[in-house]
Amino acid sequence: MNGFNGQHITCCIGLGSNLGNSLQILQDSWQRLGEQNDINLQALSAPYRTEPVDMESEHWFINAAGLLTTALSPEALLDQLLRVEQEFGRRRDPHNSGYQDRTLDLDVLLYGDLRIGTSRLQIPHPEMHKRLFVLVPLADLAPNRLHPRFQCSLDELKLQLMDEKSPSIPEQMLWTAAEND
């Protein structure tokens, strides 16, 4: 389904990888998203190196956030993200529960100011306010953007989480490191 009420909506996307050349995979997948019909890339955050959360793995993640505009419906955008994940080697095993290592993870974090709760798609992303690896890069791009559920800025959510839990802070990296590998 193309077009969502005939408007281009600003969306926030989370990008992550902990297998392969993660920096290059994130850059290449972001560019691949921009090649899709009805998706216009606006900005990509710096990459951040982060510890695995809610899973055991020796592989740390590289995470980033992106802003794009789209005329796709939320479900059609999700379909595009899943296709790009597959192109970059993401395999989802329905028999494994919990989080697993992955070459690429793309999530719809925010879709305009919409709130959606279906079995397939939840917007805003239901865990984003609990995850510094999402909030740090996202707040770099849109610090004053309001979370549709909590009605406070992304920067405020990030600072609250840093104060509450004192978790390990994501380590900012440079995209140029991908070119040197």
115 given a catalytic annotation: no
Written as one string, the DSSP assignment of 114-145 is: --EE-SS-EES-TTGGG-HHHHHHHHHH-TTP
Please state, in angstroms and rounded to a whole number, the distance separating the CA atoms of residues 156 and 134: 13
90 given a catalytic annotation: yes
Q: Is 69 helix (H, G, I), strand (E, B) or coil?
A: strand
State the catalytic residue, choosing from 54, 107, 131, 181. Answer: 107
Closest CA to 171 of 139, 132, 141: 132
Q: Please, are residues 51 and 168 in contact by the beta-carbon 8 Å criterion?
A: yes
102 given a catalytic annotation: yes
State the catalytic residue, choosing from 91, 92, 105, 145. Answer: 105
Tokens linked to 74: 């939320």
131 given a catalytic annotation: no
State the catalytic residue, choosing from 102, 115, 140, 181. Answer: 102
Question: DSSP letter at 54?
Answer: S
- Catalytic site residues? 90, 102, 105, 107
